Amino acid sequence: MPDAAQRSRDRTAPMIEFKGTRVRFGSLDAIGPVSLSVKRGEFLAVIGPSGCGKSTLLNLVAGTLKPAGGEVLYRGAPVDGVNREIGYITQKNHCLPWRTVEGNIRLPLEFRGYPNGEIASRVTSVLQQVGLAGFEKSYPRQLSGGMLQRVSIARTLAYAPDTYLMDEPFGSLDAQLRLRMHEEIMRLWHQTGSTFVFVTHDLHEAITLADRVVVISRRPGRIKLVVDIDLPRPRDVIDLQSDPRFGAYFKQLWDALDVH
């Protein structure tokens, strides 16, 4: 039986489109032109050297930055102002230290004007989903790095965005924990059917998670290569690494990255 993600991927309408998009910061040509379409329900990974404009691409979708040329469309309409349909998760977890775990997760729901009863039931449900039930009253300083990232994910999950923008979210976690988080992200993606754009400089992470990996060139950031990751799902994060196809994708992407 097709799960939510499968149904969602079958829809062909793009969720995000960059059309000849360019970004400038003063006299610096940061990006472009970039043309790329992200399908509804797709898991797209973006890799590229530091400073090539990966975060900038996400900011365009989030609506916190305007292109200097070309267009950025979300659901077929130009992004105009802050995009409320996306959830943004970065390496820094942005938890408010004076709010409990529960208080932090409530915050975006309060902004969006959800009634109190609805907020309470969503908070309970997402804490269970990310394995943090029982930590409602804890403060951020009492939690480990992995738990804090789960709070970030729960906070986003609570308002069920159509699209998750993730900017190197696990960059500060140790290798074992990162594998755990990969399993959790894949489960989340299957359950929600949401679109994911996941920036990373970890090739393993990109190949493990994504349907497609986009390689961005050095500045000005342009699309250098797009690779379909044709590995069966559900994927096992450990078994995958000994799959010969995994090694072939790694080599292809590594060569395109042009790391000196």
201 binds, among ligand ADP, Mg ion, none (CB under 5 to 8 A by kind): none
Pairwise CA distance, residues 186 & 190, whole Å:
6
Contact stretch for ligand ADP (CB under 6 A) within 51-59, 75-83, 231-239, 249-257: 51-59
192 binds, among ligand ADP, Mg ion, none (CB under 5 to 8 A by kind): none
Answer for the pair 95, 104: CB distance below 8 angstroms, yes or no.
yes
25 binds, among Mg ion, ligand ADP, none (CB under 5 to 8 A by kind): ligand ADP
SS3 of residue 87 by DSSP = strand
Q: Identify the bridge partners of residue 197 per DSSP, sorted by sequence position.
A: 44, 165
Report the residue from 3, 7, 11, 51 that binds ligand ADP according to the rule CB under 6 A.
51
Residue 7: partners with Cβ closer than 8 Å, 6 or more residues away: 41, 193
CA 227 to chain centre: 18
Answer for the pair 71, 240: CB distance below 8 angstroms, yes or no.
no
Mark 180-219 with x for binding to ligand ADP (rule: CB under 6 A) and - for no binding: ---------------------------------------x
Tell the smallest beta-carbon distance from residue 53 to Mg ion (Å). 8
Report the residue from 53, 67, 146, 169 that binds ligand ADP according to the rule CB under 6 A.
53
50 binds, among Mg ion, ligand ADP, none (CB under 5 to 8 A by kind): ligand ADP
Tell the smallest beta-carbon distance from residue 196 to Mg ion (Å). 17
Q: Which CB, 30 or 127, lies closer to ligand ADP?
A: 30
| List of residues contacting Mg ion (CB under 5 A) | 54-55
Q: Burial level of 120, CB count in 10 A (0-12/13-18/19+)? A: middle
27 binds, among Mg ion, ligand ADP, none (CB under 5 to 8 A by kind): none
Contact stretch for ligand ADP (CB under 6 A) within 44-52, 83-91, 102-110, 157-165: 44-52
Q: Which CB, 51 or 247, lies closer to Mg ion?
A: 51
Q: Distance from first CA to last CA of the chain, Å, rounded? A: 46
Q: What is the DSSP letter of 37?
A: E
**What is the number of other CB atoms lying within 10 angstroms of the CB of residue 33?**
15
Q: What is the DSSP letter of 178?
A: H
169 binds, among ligand ADP, Mg ion, none (CB under 5 to 8 A by kind): none
CA 16 to chain centre: 13
Pairwise CA distance, residues 65 & 150, whole Å:
27
Report the residue from 44, 52, 119, 158 that binds ligand ADP according to the rule CB under 6 A.
52
Q: Is 258 in the site for ligand ADP (CB under 6 A)?
A: no
Pairwise CA distance, residues 10 & 70, whole Å:
28
List interacting residues with ligand ADP (CB under 6 A): 25, 30, 48, 50-56, 219
